[in-house]
Amino acid sequence: MKNGGEQMDFEFMTSERIVFGIGTIKHIGKIASTLGKQALIVCGSGSVDLNPIIAQLKSFDVNYEVFHVSIEPNIEMVEAGLILSKRSNCEFVIGFGGGSVIDAAKAIAVMMTNSGTLLDYLEIIGQGKPILHKPADVIAVPTTAGTGTEVTKNAVISSPEHKLKVSLRSPMMIPKVALIDPELTISMPQAITASTGMDALTQLIEAFISKKANPLTDSLIREGVRRASRSLRVAYHEPGNIQAREDMCLASLIGGMALANAGLGAVHGFAAVIGGMFDAPHGEVCACLLPAVVQENIAAIKATNPDSPYLDKFKEIATLLLDDEQANIEDSIKYLVELKKDLKIRNLSDFGIEQTNYSKIVENARMASSMQKNPIVLPEFRLYEILNIS
């Protein structure tokens, strides 16, 4: 570690092509035509109109099949999508929707070119085998602004049987094209704007203080935090404000790029476990946890290493969030608590999480991959405190 906790030996990977801007959905037909003549469109329940994409595909003589995703992707769903893709001789996949939809698209694309079953490649509940063959090409078109999965190298798969969410992971899973059109996010319900926006902000903060942070991810994250801090509230209270939607889409994109290269931290370590055990939206769980995790991380670092460069990074986050060079670490905690309240984010207890569940959550969260990149190993009592005050 050098220069305030940053790694000076690093790699950086992202999508082969990123197309960003208002109205860019009009380019999807031309882009798709370079990938093949038969597409599998993986989309959500229909809150965002699919017709513009279909019209674009038709104008470039690209045929398609539509596979609807109504819940978070699970093994059975991915297998159903794979069957449809093979029956229709699909050559590539278009993921059009929120993070769960795009994760499903990425998982189906993996299985279109790799033998065996999905369980062969899943972490924890499966065999965790490496993905050997490049997945089918994916065009990722997000209609929410939060996960950044359009540029990440994994897909989160739910296993209700195991009460876990696990990852399918490979650098080859980063979508070939990420097409981000902020106009597609205007129809997001207010609660989804809040939860996905807080997920984006969480990813930016956690990647910034991650043990794997590097100068390139840090420089991107600074811009992402500035935009999220000035526009998340605006997007929530003024849904039609296209400038705010643009900012949040860019913040989400940067968050995805950052986490793919720097990793995350304790918030996502907890969130992965909680999301598998309870019916709780990922973004809102992250929003519940973020202020408490920041507070306990800072307290733990001060208690063990008051000269830690990570405290400088937390101080910088405060100045970015408040757009004030004089802001201190405590100001950032207050800001996050107030933001959570303003966006009407619920508490963990509202999802049925009780103290009797804490020991299991803590036990599993300590082993989560995201937890390993947290800037400090949090003592058990602080993990319990995070749950208590979230």
Supply the DSSP symbol for 41.
E
Considering the domain delimited by 24-180, tell me its CATH architecture.
3-Layer(aba) Sandwich (3.40)
If pLDDT is split at 50, 70 and 90, which confidence band does 5 have? low
Pick from 289, 291, 313: which is nearest to 301 by CA? Answer: 313
Query: What are the angstrom distances between the C-alpha of 107 and each of 78, 221, 295?
Result: 7, 27, 35
Q: Are 245 and 235 in contact (CB under 8 A)?
A: yes
d(CA 366, CA 364): 5
Supply the DSSP symbol for 319.
H
Strand partners, 157: 166
**Domain extents in the chain:** 24-180, 190-389
For residues 387, 388, 389, 390, the Cα torsion angle rounded to the nearest 10 degrees is 40
Model confidence at 104: pLDDT above 70: yes
Q: Are 6 and 213 in contact (CB under 8 A)?
A: yes
Model confidence at 184: pLDDT above 90: yes
* 24-180 and 190-389 have identical folds: no
∠ CA(80), CA(269), CA(119), 5° rounding?
Answer: 30
Domain covering 190-389, topology: Dehydroquinate synthase-like, alpha domain (1.20.1090)
- The lowest-confidence range among 42-51, 309-318, 375-384 is 42-51
Q: Within a 10 A sphere around the Cβ of 173, how many other Cβ atoms?
A: 23
d(CA 199, CA 188): 15
Model confidence at 6: pLDDT above 90: no
Residue found under tokens 């207890």: 349
Q: What is the mean pLDDT of residues 6-22?
A: 89
If pLDDT is split at 50, 70 and 90, which confidence band does 2 have? very low
Model confidence at 64: pLDDT above 70: yes
Supply the DSSP symbol for 249.
H
Supply the DSSP symbol for 17.
E
Strand partners, 97: 142
Q: Where does the chain have alpha helices with state H?
A: 28-33, 51-59, 75-87, 99-113, 190-209, 215-237, 242-262, 266-277, 282-304, 309-322, 329-342, 358-365, 380-389
Pick from 323, 57, 309, 328: which is nearest to 301 by CA? Answer: 309
d(CA 116, CA 338): 49
Strand partners, 327: none
**Could you give the percent of the chain with pLDDT greater than 90?**
89
If pLDDT is split at 50, 70 and 90, which confidence band does 1 have? very low
Query: What are the angstrom distances between the C-alpha of 308 and each of 211, 331, 379?
Result: 12, 19, 17
Is the CA virtual torsion 319, 325, 330, 336 positive or negative? negative
Q: What is the mean pLDDT of residues 360-366?
A: 95
d(CA 173, CA 350): 35
What tokens appear for 20 in the block?
């960003």
63-68 and 154-159 strand pairing = unpaired
What tokens appear for 213 in the block?
């942070």
One-letter amino acid at 154 equals N
Query: What are the angstrom distances between the C-alpha of 330 and each of 318, 321, 357, 388?
Result: 8, 12, 30, 19
Q: What is the mean pLDDT of residues 250-265?
A: 97
Phi first, then psi, for residue 104 (nearest 5°) are -60, -45
Q: Within a 10 A sphere around the Cβ of 347, how many other Cβ atoms?
A: 12
Predicted local distance difference test score (pLDDT) of residue 19: 98
If pLDDT is split at 50, 70 and 90, which confidence band does 315 have? very high
If pLDDT is split at 50, 70 and 90, which confidence band does 123 have? confident
